[in-house]
Structure 1
Amino acid sequence: MKAIEANFDGLVGPTHNYAGLSTGNIASTQNKQQSSNPRQAALQGLAKMKALNDLGFVQGVLPPQARPDIDTLRRLGFFGTDARVLEAAARQAPELLSACCSASSMWTANAATVSASVDTQDGKVHFTPANLVSKFHRSIEHKSTARILKAVFNDEQYFQHHPALPGAGVLGDEGAANHTRLCSDYHQPAISFFVFGRYGLDETRPAPGRYRARQTLEACTAVARQHRLKEEAVVYAQQNPDVIDKGVFHNDVIAVGNQHLLLCHEKAFLNQAEVYKNLQKATAGQLQIVEVPESRIRVETAVQTYLFNSQLLSRDDGKMTMVVPSDCENNPTVSSYLSELVNTDNPIDQVKVFDLRQSMNNGGGPACLRLRVVLNEQELQAVNPHCLITDSLYSQLTRWVESHYRDQLKEGDLADPDLITESREALDQLTQILGLGSVYSFQKR
């Protein structure tokens, strides 16, 4: 049965701000406390969705989470009305308030790990929300993520939803940012390539020294078991600890794969030659690996431009389109490399550039913004149709953003009680537009 890969991008939320919460993510920390533009951020993301839909790719949208997260602030000991909770948090624990206002759910590559039905032993598409325990502001996302995913992929005949892994450091799970599906074609069984940063239960093994690795081997193996993947169809690899210390907080900052192609930096993995050997064995030698040497593009340049945080999209003609942020075009070294890449012997023959400056300032590029879901024809028909981008939905969402989003947000604005009202009114309307029902806790009171 024919299958496609759909990309579900996260819609940037009304509280998009630069709080510098993500240690190890250089762009996030460098832009801390700068003024953000939530409206522009959301419109930039929507423009990418619309453009890819116009190119013929199946494009979906996932809603943001409710922020400020008043429920979490109450669990942390703040009482009274919502306004009083905000005021007290801003005065007593501004860092906690910033965390509970984060719009980081926009990066849906971290929302979950997804396995295609052709890869699972029960023939269903499996979803496991990431627990994201390495960062507090993201660890509070997974329950809402689970509700949202169930509202979008809501047919139990085709979709199997799992809870997030237990919220312990040894099971740190960052979702699809560390998982790549390698195959000859989307409808064929694939090799699941899981990349981890450290061993959760063995601290004597190699690990970065400056930044703590976020994904553990134990989380990868647990998700593989949950999704009922065959052992022989899974390959595990460890990130190079040295590149994690240079800002490569997820594998998708240093490598990107699609179908039978893996594009990666020469320093992406620990024991890289062995990783290649294991991948070629698992794929019966069908995988093409394009390695970018350090002498051509330094790790620091890759992190700065997010060259590898790109999307590789397969077209009907057998070729691939590569989606990159404008930072790649603006860097002469990377721009030159991309020009060479499309003229060498590999499937990539087209590069599309998008202005995602608002997301990039917070440390997320094109690949961060999307969750990849392989679906056959029946499964695609079972997806909530209101969450698939069309010209009409794009226009409707654009008007919605322009009506509800601020064009500037500073750190001090997070304590503004009007922000709660604005955000809730916007999200309540959004759930109606997307036909999601009541997925937010404030809708159930």
Structure 2
Amino acid sequence: MKHFEANFDGLVGPTHNYAGLSFGNVASFNNAAQASNPKAAAKQGLKKAKSLAEMGMVQGMLAPQERPDLTTLRRIGFTGTDAQVLKSAHEQAPLLLNACCSASSMWTANAATISPSADTRDKKIHFTPANLVDKLHRSIEPITTGLILQSTFSDPNHFHHHGHLPEHASFGDEGAANHTRMCAQYGESGVELFVYGQEATNPNAPRPAKFPARQTLEASRAVARLHQLNDSNTVFIQQNPDVIDQGVFHNDVIAVGNQNVLFYHEQAFVDTQNKLDEIQSKLNTESHFIEVPTNKVSINDAVKSYLFNTQVITLPSGEMAIIAPTDCQENPAVFAYLNELVTLETPIKKVFYFDVKQSMQNGGGPACLRLRVAMNQHELSAVNQHTLMNDQLFSTLNQWVDKHYRDRLTTKDLADPQLLIESRTALDELTQIMKLGSVYQFQR
């Protein structure tokens, strides 16, 4: 049976803005208060997704969440009509309003952790939405994330959905941004790498001093238990606290894997060699550990260009390629390294560059926009087919964006009641396009 890795990209929502909400994310902070272009952001994401589909990849789309989130604003005491709630929040607590308007669900690498059926004891694909407790604007996402995933992967014969972990700092979980999987072939049992920033319940364990470690070892181990994984196909690795303090807020800003390739910066991990040895001992195939040295690409250049927040994909030809942001082309050190990389004796032979600057300016690159799901043909057939990218969906979604999205948005616009109406109207229509059922009804 044919097996492959599908990419499900987040569709950028109508309230995409630059509010600088993510402490520890250098790009998010540096671009705070700039005007955003939601229409351009959505179209950039759709173009990347369509291009991967044209390369022969299985490509899906995940719906955005309803924003502004009036439910949360009402939970914290704002009352009256929708317009009154927005006005009061803007006047009394503008930072809370900004958080409740964030379109951050576009970064589906944080949506959930996924384990394929080849790894799990019940031979189903397991989904655990990330609780994202470290950031207010993201902590309001998990329930709707679960509903979107269930509407996309609904067949209980193939898919096993879990609730998000307890909403406590000890179980800080940031999803697939701190998880990757290595294997010989997608349909074979592999090794799942859980990368954590700190061991929360051990006060003597190393942790960053400046920025928060968003993923805990406790959360990673909990997800592995929920997903029915064995010790033989899990490895727990600590991210280097020093690089977190330099703006590497998730592992996917400093490392990425695909099949038998792990592409990482030399400063990415703690106890690197022992962990690589553990991966190799558990992986039933020859590994390619591609370490990028600091003297070729500094941490600063890696963070600015998002060299490691690239997608490493296996093309139908069997060659691997990197899907990189154009920012990698614009950084001399990174561009020189990628030009060298494709000449080396590794499976990575090509680099494709895409303009996703609207996402990059808010601190998320190509890999942030996608959630990877390794599956077989039967499992793909059980997916909501209206979410899979093809010519018709691409055309329909572009027309939908043109109809409903603004081309300029500032944080001052977030209190505009008309923006709420526009967003709800857009999502009501999207529900029909992608056959999402009752995903958004609970917010009414």
| TM superposition score category, shorter chain reference | over 0.9
Where does 1:204-215 land on structure 2 (aligned, <5 Å)?
204-215=204-215
TM-score (norm 2): 0.99
Q: Which residue of 2 aligns with 1:409?
A: 409
Runs of 4+ in 1 over 3 A off after TM superposition: none
Q: Which residue of 2 aligns with 1:62?
A: 62
Kindly indicate whether residue 340 of structure 2 is the aligned counterpart of residue 364 of structure 1.
Answer: no
Paired residue secondary structure (1:117): coil
CA offset at residue 2 of structure 1?
2.1
CA distance in 2, matches of 1:244, 1:356: 23
Q: Which residue of 1 aligns with 2:277?
A: 277
TM-score (norm 1): 0.99
CA distance in 2, matches of 1:209, 1:284: 38
Q: Which residue of 2 aligns with 1:230?
A: 230
Q: Which residue of 1 aligns with 2:111?
A: 111
Q: Which residue of 1 aligns with 2:84?
A: 84
Per-residue CA distance 1:257-283 (angstroms, 9 max, x = gap): 000000100000011121211111111
CA distance in 1, matches of 2:213, 2:327: 26
CA offset at residue 317 of structure 1?
2.4
More displaced 10-residue stretch of structure 1: 280-289 or 425-434:
280-289
Paired residue secondary structure (2:16): coil
Per-residue CA distance 1:261-311 (angstroms, 9 max, x = gap): 001000000111212111111115621101000011001100000000000
Kindly indicate whether residue 255 of structure 2 is the aligned counterpart of residue 255 of structure 1.
Answer: yes
CA distance in 2, matches of 1:340, 1:82: 55
Q: Which residue of 2 aligns with 1:149?
A: 149
Where does 1:36-435 land on structure 2 (aligned, <5 Å)?
36-284=36-284, 286-435=286-435
CA distance in 2, matches of 1:387, 1:285: 33
8 Å Cα contact 2:183/2:285 also seen in 1: no
Paired residue secondary structure (2:379): helix
CA distance in 1, matches of 2:249, 2:411: 25
Aligned letter for 2:146? A
Paired residue secondary structure (2:8): strand
8 Å Cα contact 2:184/2:285 also seen in 1: no
Q: How many residues get paired? A: 444
Per-residue CA distance 1:194-244 (angstroms, 9 max, x = gap): 000000111210000000100000000000000001111100000000000
CA distance in 2, matches of 1:263, 1:213: 21
CA distance in 1, matches of 2:389, 2:186: 21
Q: Which residue of 1 aligns with 2:8?
A: 8
CA distance in 2, matches of 1:57, 1:366: 15
Identity of aligned residues (%): 57
CA offset at residue 442 of structure 1?
5.7
Paired residue secondary structure (2:221): helix
CA distance in 2, matches of 1:287, 1:249: 26
CA distance in 2, matches of 1:259, 1:176: 15
CA distance in 2, matches of 1:2, 1:176: 24
8 Å Cα contact 2:15/2:103 also seen in 1: yes
CA distance in 2, matches of 1:279, 1:190: 10
CA distance in 2, matches of 1:436, 1:273: 45
Structure 2: 5+ residue stretches without partners? none
RMSD: 0.8
Structure 1: 5+ residue stretches without partners? none
Paired residue secondary structure (2:429): helix
Aligned letter for 2:312? L
Paired residue secondary structure (2:419): helix
Kindly indicate whether residue 35 of structure 2 is the aligned counterpart of residue 35 of structure 1.
Answer: yes
Paired residue secondary structure (2:303): helix
Paired residue secondary structure (2:358): helix
CA distance in 2, matches of 1:88, 1:339: 53
Paired residue secondary structure (2:373): strand
